[in-house]
Homo-oligomer: A and B are copies of this chain.
């Protein structure tokens, strides 16, 4: 078994840092000439996988747009996940699940267990019930060579009230919620000495000012193993990939440049070319 961090390092080296979202929302389905059905999201997802394979290394299906169609939508998602993994892409299921005890374990089993019908390489997860509530999912991920991305500082403005709130007690007292999550995740990754990246990463929006969360970007990322950072907010949402080091500082080491609508808006025929160009732009900007 290869640890998630080693697989991520290989993807960065060989295929770059661009992650293409698979977001078949209503407007895009219409623009692509696809029906708003399970068949439509299947076709959309498989088209994106074809366009990305060989041109970028990572895809991120947004689970909500498949769940909308119930079991049939999940059957479509199973096909898209399998096609992406068969094409050698690293797949991050954007599920933002979160729960406690046997429930969070069941979510991790759904997305991260080898052989599961919804098997992906990593998933996004929500810490509203505490990073500690995710412990069993983290253990499962580490033991299966899979990854987790914990929401920390997201790019939507409504999130600041929760994510910038200040912890009142315990070892993280005085830190913002987002900063406390980074420290908790780093502590978990310490179990993987020698790995280039940890199995557990963060979701940090590229449009946020990390200083507003009490996070010093000059030093926040000086960790071993390095922290994987799934960073939406580039392209369509306004952040420039040229600014990655200014925005993320020492956290830039682990940044995955996640883009969805800016690329998907090119349409099914032009998508492959758009991905190819963007991969080169990201490589030129980030190194």
Chain A interface (Cβ < 8 Å from any Cβ of B): 23, 25-27, 62, 64-65, 67-75, 77-78, 96-104, 106-107, 109-110, 116-118, 126-133, 151, 154, 156-170, 172, 176-177, 180
Kindly list chain B residues whose C-beta atoms are within 8 Å of the C-beta of A68.
106-107, 109-110, 116
Contact B132 A151, beta carbon cutoff 8 Å: no
Given A62-B103, A71-B71, A164 contacting B156 (CB threshold 8 A): no
Contact A159 B133, beta carbon cutoff 8 Å: yes
Contact A128 B128, beta carbon cutoff 8 Å: yes
Chain B residue at minimal CB-CB distance from A129: B159
Checking B71, B98, B159 against A130 with a beta-carbon cut-off of 8 angstroms, the contacting residue is B159
Copies of this chain assembled into the complex: 2
A266 CB, min distance to chain B CBs, angstroms: 18
> Measured between alpha carbons, how far is A126 from B163 in the docked complex, in Å?
13
A124 CB, min distance to chain B CBs, angstroms: 9
Most chain B CB within a 10 A radius of its CB, from A68, A100, A159: A68
Kindly list chain B residues whose C-beta atoms are within 8 Å of the C-beta of A160.
130, 169-170
Contact A71 B65, beta carbon cutoff 8 Å: no
Contact A106 B161, beta carbon cutoff 8 Å: no
> Measured between alpha carbons, how far is A133 from B160 in the docked complex, in Å?
11
> Measured between alpha carbons, how far is A6 from B117 in the docked complex, in Å?
40
Given A96-B99, A97-B96, A128-B98, A106 contacting B64 (CB threshold 8 A): yes
Given A129-B151, A151-B128, A64 contacting B110 (CB threshold 8 A): yes
> Measured between alpha carbons, how far is A162 from B178 in the docked complex, in Å?
9
> Measured between alpha carbons, how far is A62 from B99 in the docked complex, in Å?
10
Kindly list chain B residues whose C-beta atoms are within 8 Å of the C-beta of A159.
128-130, 133
A37 CB, min distance to chain B CBs, angstroms: 11
Contact B154 A100, beta carbon cutoff 8 Å: yes
> Measured between alpha carbons, how far is A130 from B73 in the docked complex, in Å?
27
Given A68-B109, A74-B70, A156-B130, A102 contacting B164 (CB threshold 8 A): no
- 11 more CB-based (< 8 A) A-B contacts, given A127-B162, A130-B159: A23-B102, A27-B102, A64-B103, A65-B102, A68-B116, A70-B78, A71-B75, A96-B126, A129-B156, A132-B157, A161-B170
Contact B169 A164, beta carbon cutoff 8 Å: yes
Given A78-B71, A168-B166, A65 contacting B106 (CB threshold 8 A): yes
Kindly list chain B residues whose C-beta atoms are within 8 Å of the C-beta of A75.
71
Contact B110 A70, beta carbon cutoff 8 Å: yes
Contact B154 A129, beta carbon cutoff 8 Å: yes
